[in-house]
Structure 1
């Protein structure tokens, strides 16, 4: 059961990246508002961290069944460890960081869209074609 939930989380993450990438090219303003909303409140901060824990754990559990298992194992652990660190940071720091860094990152929105499409495709391909 846990394995199925982890597989679903990995696939949903891949679809999220594809959706984000497509939205960059179809509705740039929507993506800009979405990214600017990160860290706006304590609830948004903790929701983001919870999702990072779920996705990181899902990758750690599913990586052995995916192509490029080592890559996805490391990715999952990086998400888990950095999220644990972020839980020790007050959400207001996250808000200040987002207020400074997101507007700068928005200058590279096209690159973000391309990277999201590529990474989403990579995740879905690796999940669908399992390792040996």
Structure 2
């Protein structure tokens, strides 16, 4: 189970890092990707399922990571907010996204850099304990 959690955390971190070049080079594609999660109930629940998996992986892998308390808390925050979003009508998520997307569009390059930074930090904190 621990190995599976570590693999999921690595995939999560690499995914965050891969978002950055897309946000810089292909801004429209990055924005469409983010908008898609709140467009339909299917994508809403897909996002929450992925978030639950990632949150559980962070909680499970955190004891062997640098800053384990921080990543454990982050995992629980992801799990709790995902469960809240599952329990709320998906249209609320859609309305929230419609309010936030204009700001995201304006600062997509910053969002990309922060995404890369979080991914790199997560990967470093996981991998550095193995050497």
Structure 1-normalised TM-score? Answer: 0.94
Shift of 1:61: 0.3
Gaps of 5+ in 2: none
**1:37 equivalent in alignment to 2:62:** no
User: 2:104 and 2:65 mapped to 1: Cα distance?
Assistant: 31
More displaced, 94-103 or 64-73? 94-103
**1:24 equivalent in alignment to 2:23:** yes
Partner of 2:87, secondary structure, is coil
Aligned length: 130
The 5-angstrom pairing of residues 25-104 of structure 1 reads 25-104=24-103
1:71-116 deviation line (CA, Å, top 9, x unaligned) = 1001001011111111111111111111121122211111111101
Runs of 4+ off more than 6 Å: none
1:31-60 deviation line (CA, Å, top 9, x unaligned) = 011112121001000000000100000000
Given that residues 60 and 72 in structure 1 are in contact (C-alpha distance below 8 angstroms), is that contact kept between their aligned partners in structure 2? yes
RMSD: 1.1
User: 1:4 and 1:26 mapped to 2: Cα distance?
Assistant: 34
Gaps of 5+ in 1: none
